[in-house]
Amino acid sequence: MKITLHNTLGRKLQEFKPLKPGVVGMYCCGPTVYHYAHIGNLRTYVNEDFLRRTLEYAGYEVNHVVNITDVGHLTSDSDQGDDKMEKGAAREGRTVWEIAEHYTQAFFQDWKRLNLVQPKAWPRATGYISQQIELVQILETKGFTYRTADGIYFDTEKFARYGDFAGIKLDDLRAGARVELGDKKSPTDFALWKFSPEGVQRAMEWESPWGIGFPGWHAECSAMSNSLIGPTLDIHCGGTDHIRIHHTNEIAQSECAHGQPFARYWVHNEFLKTESSGKMSKSSGEFLTLQVLVDRGFDALDYRYFCATAHYRKFLTFSWENIAASRDAHRAFRRRIAPLLSAWAGVRSGELDAASDLSAAQKDWQKRFEEALGQDVNIPKALGLAQSLAREEALSESERGRLLADWDRVLGLDLGRELPDPPPVEVSESERLDIERLFAARAAARAAKDWAEADRVRAELAELSVVVVDTPEGSSWKKI
């Protein structure tokens, strides 16, 4: 099976060929465990799971590593600001270690509920401090670092290709820098090791050859991927937000330390957006967790299905209306295929011989499915094929069931499992009055062309799980 991937390195589609035949080293940047993952983060992990399953479906063994960032890094990419873990600890009156453990476990629970395949390793940054120190020492010995009053920095002037990966014009950036440079020589230089401030005992700090402190954010991925996969990765994944700084810095550190290409294919996932602010982030306030969806009557697999409806390189817009429509499609699909899967299960347990060869028609569908996966992991196309196959009466029920059961190895929808029906939608009389009041307020705002107010009221309705449908004939509301 031929797989073509879009490689951020060079910005083009390329046929995937691993370094060692049959084995893929795949590293994915994981969560910073100072808060719950939001469904935007989870979209990235679901897409990475589709990629991993595609590779396994094609027969590769995937050495998949996802790190847990449990060291307190600073809230700004320019190595300034508050420590994220300490902020989380202060918010909740717990220690940083308790915070890390709590949110790591919450993340593992989301992982399981979304039916994501377990990586081969879940390294925690705090478990790889000595490897990070070693990386900085190598860079220091090779002359890529300098020391300031607050830490050891990577000197990006020493790595001529620094801006190539993200297509950054460094001269413009460096000349026009308005950011606070501190003692840094260039705005693109970044911390490899930060010193604990004089007289302050940080909640997380370690001894190092340069004094007590903590590693810079980017060091962990270079150190852990090298320890667990090797100096050259086949595939490195993350969200598109990481291209410019985090991954650019990982490349600089790893390639200068090891003198080898760091990752051969870079696969970047596009963002989940919201309708209003356009960005789902931990700081924008539009912070939806998987649990919020579950509390509103969605199954985690409804969210997985929703992710499968958009290609990983395209934006996906979340709204309650979109996810509710996607849940309807998902449930209808499961209802349609349930008899096909049982027909296939019946054949399989009855006479094993029936499980041998695929018919010519089945082979044709199989080929189309593999082609869709091979085209830059086109999951929406693969899902569309599964939908069409379910309705294809030229194939017997068990023939269709057999293919669908097999394709679920990639779709990961756990299709054989019966999902509980979504809870019935009930609207109490007092709730109805509230909704009608807001609905009228929105109509009034629209009539007055006060779009900001209309959007605000619509968001308030969404809080009550109410979506507003506007058609040329007028508007109506629906509770989901």
**Which residues bind to Zn ion, rule: CB under 5 A?**
29, 221
Site mask for ligand AMP (CB under 6 A), range 270-289, x = bound: -xx-------xx--------
Going from the C-alpha of 286 to that of each of 91, 356, 463, 472, the distances in angstroms are 18, 51, 12, 30
Burial class of 429 by CB neighbour count within 10 A (0 to 12, 13 to 18, 19+): exposed
Shortest CB 421 distance to ligand AMP, Å = 29
> For ligand AMP, which residue of 40, 119, 216, 401 counts as binding (CB under 6 A)?
40
Site mask for ligand AMP (CB under 6 A), range 238-257, x = bound: xx-xx---------------
Tally the residues of the chain. 480
Partner from Zn ion, ligand AMP, none contacting 40, C-beta within 5 to 8 A by type: ligand AMP
Shortest CB 204 distance to ligand AMP, Å = 17
CB closer to ligand AMP, 272 vs 413: 272
Closest CA to 138 of 154, 149, 127, 151: 154
Contact range with ligand AMP by CB under 6 A, out of 9-17, 77-85, 236-244, 378-386: 236-244
> For ligand AMP, which residue of 7, 8, 41, 249 counts as binding (CB under 6 A)?
41
Cβ pair 44, 98 in contact under 8 A:
no
Using CB under 6 A as the binding rule, whether residue 395 contacts ligand AMP is answered as no
Partner from ligand AMP, Zn ion, none contacting 221, C-beta within 5 to 8 A by type: Zn ion
CB closer to ligand AMP, 186 vs 240: 240
CB closer to ligand AMP, 280 vs 383: 280
- Measured distance between the N- and C-terminal CA atoms of the chain, rounded to whole angstroms: 42
Distance CA 35, CA 394 (A): 51
Using CB under 6 A as the binding rule, whether residue 213 contacts ligand AMP is answered as no
> For ligand AMP, which residue of 25, 31, 72, 215 counts as binding (CB under 6 A)?
31
Using CB under 6 A as the binding rule, whether residue 43 contacts ligand AMP is answered as yes
b/e sequence 265-288, b meaning 16+ C-beta within 10 Å: bbbbbbbbbbbeeeebebeeebeb
Using CB under 6 A as the binding rule, whether residue 116 contacts ligand AMP is answered as no
CB closer to ligand AMP, 155 vs 220: 220
Distance CA 413, CA 334 (A): 10
Which stretches does DSSP call E strand in 155-249?
190-195, 213-215, 233-239
Burial class of 179 by CB neighbour count within 10 A (0 to 12, 13 to 18, 19+): exposed
Angle at 273 between CA 272 and CA 274, to 5 degrees: 135
CB closer to Zn ion, 86 vs 220: 220
Shortest CB 241 distance to ligand AMP, Å = 5
Burial class of 300 by CB neighbour count within 10 A (0 to 12, 13 to 18, 19+): buried
Distance CA 409, CA 129 (A): 37
Note the residues at the interface with ligand AMP (CB under 6 A).
29, 31-32, 40-41, 43-44, 238-239, 241-242, 269, 271-272, 280-281
